[in-house]
Structure 1
Amino acid sequence: MTVLSIFTGKPVDPATLAKAPARKQDPAKVAPRKRGGLQRENQKAMLAKVHIAKQRLGLDDEIYRGILSERFGVDSSKDLEMTGLNDLLLHLQRLGFQPTPRRKSADPYDVDAQIRKIEALLSEKGRVEGTDVPWGYAMAILKRQTGGKVKSFEDASALELRGVIVALIRDAHKHGRRVQ
């Protein structure tokens, strides 16, 4: 039985392949394996929080390094483990640092926001086509999707309005318009 070479496409005898010496890699050329991926990412995030706290508190470098050497016995916050970084953040909070909570994303069930999105998509469609696209266009989409059960936007649920938004976005992609 012959096998085709993946490099040349020519037939190669399997017995020759079995006799071929295995390639050895030079240890100097082998890339070192990354270790502690998730832990390192968490440590980087904690370091970033520490430096944000330092900046917001207005600590100069001398005072900050004094805190590190007095309380933790290190010269740099990079030398701290996760527990040390957590303790440092708690200490900075006792000094007055107020961490800001992450911004919440827009409520997907906010009907007013969805109606504003529909309005924006209709105006973009009209701008590109050079016409005025009436609200009746979106209303027709809503009626078609609900089988005529919903007669106005006030009666529509957030999920039904989301369906209208999706239809308008698909129409925009189909005709090459940008979506906001």
Structure 2
Amino acid sequence: MASKQQIQLIHIAKAQLGLDDDLYRQLLMDIGGAPSSKELTFAKADAVLEHLKSKGFKAIPKGRLSPKSGTAAVGAVDKIRAIWITMSKQGFVRDGSETALDKWVCSVTQVRHVGWLKQRSAAQALEALKKWHTRELERALGARWGFFPESRLYLTLDDYRRQGRPTHGGRWYEALCDLYKKYGVAK
């Protein structure tokens, strides 16, 4: 008998691959020898899943999602979460889940959960994350303007100011974020 997890994955694959009911039933009969996923044996369910994976199905485990902003005791924690989510959306972080953020925070501060950070360790993690994000932004924008430290972008922050665009008080990180929104291409 197929496990509940196998049956769930088969149904997720059906939806992800956009299989209609007739094609889905035919696939179950051809590969699994049963008209329904509930009637598959454990081995046959594995065979069906392997076939679906060969057709493009990707089982993506879901990590914990970040809680709503404004709930953290330390304000920097909300900023850390926001930057992490932004980096994930920009393609700089493979896994944008709270679990992945916790692992990264632990590697930087030895605190196991981002929500447990105190002011000093939160500031340390925030600065490390901003530096990492800056490197990724420079790399992404550098592809547009050439080798970054010698590029037009690096040398023309004053030009950026003269064009009437906000430079965020001369803070390079915020200026890079603004430039990436305008010119960057999400991965």
Instruction: Tell me the TM-score normalised to structure 1 length.
Output: 0.39
Q: Could you say which structure has the larger radius of gyration?
A: 1
